Amino acid sequence: MSHHYGHVRAEQIKPQGEDAEKEAVDSEEQVASPDPSSITATTGTDASPGLCKQRGRGHNKPASCVKAAPDWPLRGPMAPAVINLNNPGFEQALHVKGSGSLLHGPSETNGNYLINRGPLETRREDGQSRKRRPVTVDTSKAKTSLEALKMSIKQLKWKEFPLGRRAPCDIYWHGVSFHDNENIVSGQVNKFPGMLEMLRKINMSRAVRTMQELFPEEYDFYPRSWILPEEYQLFATQIRLIKEKDAAVNPTFIVKPDGGSQGDGIYLIRDPADLKLVVGSQAKQAVVQEYIPKPLLIDKLKFDIRLYVLIKSLEPLEIYIAKEGLTRFCTEPYQEPSQKNLTHVFMHLTNYSLNVHSGNFVHSDSQNTGSKRTLSSVLYRLAAKGVDIKRVWSDIIALVIKTVIAVVPELKVYHQADIPPGKPGPTCFQILGFDILLMKNLKPVLLEVNSNPSMRIEHEQEVAPGVFEFVPSPVDEEVKVGVIRDTLRLMDPFHKKPVTSSQDKSREDIQMDGDPDSRSPDENQPSLCLKQVYPKYTKQFNHLRLVERIASLFIRFLGVKGNMRLGPTAFRTFIRTCKLSSSNFTMASVDILYIDITRRWAAAAADSREAGMGLQAFVEAFFYLAGRRFRSLSLRGQVVSLLELCEAQLGPQSEDRRSLSCGRAPQPRAVKTQTPCLTYSQLASPAPQRRAASQDNRPLQTLKPRTLRASVEN
């Protein structure tokens, strides 16, 4: 067991309702017995030498002390090496009466602010407090997040139902998807319908690509990608042309199976002929992506960032980012890709699940060493070297908001199909795991987004030869419990505050500090480790929400609730209602357009159950119609003009959607020298052709010539 876990008196941490079985049959409206006399809050800034960490688990895990650190932000290179960004308050110390201990709430590791004041007290307007029932959480489907979830619930003194219960709960915590529990008609679920599907590698690439067509400069953080098998020819041709043009160019590509995770089935290639296109008799669905050859290194090792992002609501869109994240390190010193090293997974892939099997893997006992570290410890290290980490952080926030904006349109289609408006259903929220690579020039690159980021806080370790045990992982616990607990606090049904998009900070720089939006929903508790970034930065990003407006039109014409695809009649109705046909674009041409696009998309998504035109196909049709109608404009201009025309025909119901693009687009930043995706041309032709043509114009990064066969399959 880690030496970071010192001892703590059991009564200090004993949560209410520890017996899970008992809890499940407890009276539903039971008011938990708060212990308001047990703690009084005091304030202070630091309590050196250390802040005692407590583990709220039932199985006697001891506590540890970590060094206190000043609040975010880092103010200079002399910043300390250890800081917990998930404990943004650092200001509140809590005195436990009778124990003689001074517990430093938000400054403790993972923010275990053991507030034994009655968390279930609320203040009435007359200033008197009254008790309310605890928030109830169904954890029966939580799977691997269970341990961290239990700790969070205990810290909040909420009520856990580990076996579920017949009466509704306030919150349902699912391990995989929205559908883990069927027939939920109220409360809140921690998954959105369709998120799992949307964030698969192919769908995600398509969604970002659509945005790259509309906003090439804004979406240059995603490596150039091709979808296999459908774009194999395009990929092979483009690479051949690039190599013919300049024999010195020999880029590397990373191939990722569509449904894969944890590095499974990933391999690097330098020649399209090395693609493994078929498994058995089946064509393999995958994304092949430009490999970023020059990542930022620390201690000569490649690493990536796991950032936790909460989508609190789709409508209105609310996004929060965890101020603390993880960094996962490779275990073999990095070299740029070459024939010799393409198969070296421990050099090229940062996945924990792979590197943990390397003899060089170091389980991190502290936050700033080992193969998995906190993001803050890495940022401090970079700050100490003079890196402008405020800039890095604000680039990361921008990347996150833009990525969410790319996937929201399709999520809304799933949402209306699974939870039709007007019918009883739960509301949803979801924690996502963003995997981000920093390039050598500090530009963040999006690798992927996980709909089910691992929330495990323990790892398997060989404690004696041949004897494996699950042992606590302090770094994981540090970050993940904070994220889950503060997500719950934000979703607390008794503390819901309406969000107004008037919180807009027009043209304001994206900040990493002094954030009033991290205030606790309950003024008696420490501030949150989650920072609101949207709608806070609405003005900077609102103009990007064009596809969402197209999705609104799409949903409007879907007709029957529960549908996700537009039939030919509905498509005709759309054209008629928006008055888009004319003598040189007859309804017969409309039918041909529908058939042509729908067929092509059906072939691309062979596994799709429903016939008809899905959102992505509709977007392609919309781009085509926009191109026909407003030939002289850029693609973005065409789309905006057609949207305005359609929305005007549809009347006031669409007015609110229209306002989404009213903010002026900020000037694109100066082009950086090293970017994964370079310039796109904008051509007024249907998407696949436009895409093909535009990709031809994007030069790849220059690499030394080598033509090699390689496989890094696990």
Asked whether 196 and 189 are in contact (CB, 8 A), the reply is no
Say which residues have a Cβ less than 8 Å from residue 673's Cβ, sequence separation at least 6: 441
Give the three-class secondary structure for 463: strand
Tell the smallest beta-carbon distance from residue 257 to ligand ADP (Å).
Answer: 8
For residue 285, which amino acid is it?
A: Q
260 counts as binding ligand ADP under rule CB under 6 A = yes
Rounded CA gap, 554 and 571, in Å? Answer: 9
Number of residues that bind ligand ADP (CB under 6 A): 20
Closer CB to ligand ADP, 289 or 525, in the complex:
289
Report the 10 Å Cβ neighbour count for 645: 17
Closest-CA residue to 635 (of 590, 691, 684): 684
For residue 427, which amino acid is it?
A: T
325 counts as binding ligand ADP under rule CB under 6 A = no
350 counts as binding ligand ADP under rule CB under 6 A = yes
Tell the smallest beta-carbon distance from residue 576 to ligand ADP (Å).
Answer: 43
For residue 685, which amino acid is it?
A: S
Closer CB to ligand ADP, 430 or 532, in the complex:
430
Q: Which of 172, 235, 291, 574 binds ligand ADP (CB under 6 A)?
A: 291
Closer CB to ligand ADP, 83 or 407, in the complex:
407
Residue window 301-320: x/- pattern of binding to ligand ADP, with contact defined by CB under 6 A: ---x----------------
256 counts as binding ligand ADP under rule CB under 6 A = yes
Report the 10 Å Cβ neighbour count for 465: 5
263 counts as binding ligand ADP under rule CB under 6 A = yes
For 121-147, give one letter per residue: b (16+ CB within 10 A) or e. eeeeeeeeeeeeebbbbbbbbbbebbb
Q: Which of 28, 264, 365, 591 binds ligand ADP (CB under 6 A)?
A: 264
615 counts as binding ligand ADP under rule CB under 6 A = no
Q: Which of 180, 410, 448, 647 binds ligand ADP (CB under 6 A)?
A: 448
Tell the smallest beta-carbon distance from residue 679 to ligand ADP (Å).
Answer: 19
Distance of CA 448 to the CA centre of its chain: 9
Rounded CA gap, 198 and 410, in Å? Answer: 7
Sole window of 6-14, 42-50, 256-264, 305-313 interacting with ligand ADP (rule: CB under 6 A): 256-264
381 membership: H or E segment, kind and range: helix 375-384
Q: Which of 349, 553, 570, 578 binds ligand ADP (CB under 6 A)?
A: 349
461 counts as binding ligand ADP under rule CB under 6 A = no
Closer CB to ligand ADP, 254 or 397, in the complex:
254
Report the 10 Å Cβ neighbour count for 438: 25
For 86-95, give one letter per residue: b (16+ CB within 10 A) or e. bbbbbbbbbe
Closer CB to ligand ADP, 118 or 257, in the complex:
257
Sole window of 28-36, 154-162, 287-295, 455-463 interacting with ligand ADP (rule: CB under 6 A): 287-295
Closer CB to ligand ADP, 176 or 587, in the complex:
176
Report the 10 Å Cβ neighbour count for 540: 24
Asked whether 65 and 89 are in contact (CB, 8 A), the reply is no
675 counts as binding ligand ADP under rule CB under 6 A = no
Binding site for ligand ADP (CB under 6 A): 223, 254, 256, 260-264, 266, 289, 291-292, 304, 349-351, 435, 437, 447-448
